[in-house]
Chain A
Amino acid sequence: MDIFEKLQSLDRRLFYLLMALAIAIPIINPIGLPIDITDPVKKTYEFVESLPNGSTVVIGFDYEPGDEIDLSPIAEAVLHQLARKNIRVVALASFPAGPTFAEEALLVLEEYGYEYGKDYVNLGHYAGGEPTLAAFATDPTSIFVRDWFGNDVSSMPLMKELTSMKDFSMAMTLNDGPTGGTGTHEWVRQAVMAHDVPLIMGVTGVLYASNQTYVQSGQCKGILAGLRAAAEYEQLIDRKGIGTTGMDAQSMAHILIVAFVILGNIGMLMSKKEGGRPGPGPASKPATPGGEGK
Chain B
Amino acid sequence: MFAKRTLPTIIAFICGVTVVFAYFINVPFIQDRAQSILRWQAVIAVFALGLGAVNIIRVHVSNIQRSKGQNFYSLALLITFAITILVGVFLGQNSTAYKFIFDYINVPTGSAIFSLLAFYIGTAAYRAFRAKNVEAAILLLTGCIVMLGRVPLGAKILPVSVPLTDWIMSVLNVGGQRGVMIAGAIGFIAVSLRIIVGLERRSYGGE
Measuring CB to CB, which residues of chain A are less than 8 angstroms from any residue of chain B? 8, 10, 12, 15-16, 19, 23, 33-36, 38-39, 64-69, 97, 99-100, 126-129, 131-132, 134-135, 138-139, 142-143, 148-150, 185, 194, 205, 208-210, 212-213, 216, 228, 247, 250-258, 260-265, 268-269, 278, 280-282, 285, 287-289, 292
Contacts of A278 in B (CB 8 A): 130, 132
B125 at the interface (CB under 8 A from A): yes
- Chain B interface residue count, Cβ-Cβ cutoff 8 angstroms: 64
Contact A260 B126 (CB under 8 A): yes
Complexed CA–CA distance, A269 and B130 (Å): 9
Contacts of A12 in B (CB 8 A): 123
Complexed CA–CA distance, A56 and B164 (Å): 38
Q: Chain A's interface: helix, strand, loop or mixed, by majority?
A: helix
B49 at the interface (CB under 8 A from A): yes
Say which residue of A135, A150, A210, A251 sits within 8 Å of B38 (CB atoms). Answer: A135
Contact B132 A65 (CB under 8 A): no
Contact A287 B123 (CB under 8 A): yes
Complexed CA–CA distance, A251 and B148 (Å): 8
Contacts of A138 in B (CB 8 A): 31, 35, 38
Write the chain B residue with the least CB distance to A65: B110
Contact B140 A251 (CB under 8 A): no
Contacts of A139 in B (CB 8 A): 35
Q: Most chain-B CB neighbours within 10 Å: which of A208, A255, A269?
A: A255
Contacts of A268 in B (CB 8 A): 130-132
Complexed CA–CA distance, A16 and B120 (Å): 9
Extra contacts besides A216-B174, A250-B151 (19): CB < 8 Å:
A15-B122, A19-B118, A34-B152, A36-B162, A67-B114, A68-B111, A127-B48, A128-B42, A129-B45, A139-B35, A143-B42, A209-B173, A261-B129, A261-B143, A264-B127, A264-B129, A265-B140, A278-B130, A292-B123
Q: List 17 A-B contacts (CB under 8 A).
A: A19-B122, A33-B153, A35-B152, A100-B93, A100-B102, A135-B42, A138-B35, A194-B23, A209-B177, A213-B177, A252-B153, A254-B150, A257-B122, A260-B125, A278-B132, A287-B126, A289-B116
Contact B35 A128 (CB under 8 A): no
Known: A127-B46, A149-B94. A66 touches B114 (CB 8 A): yes
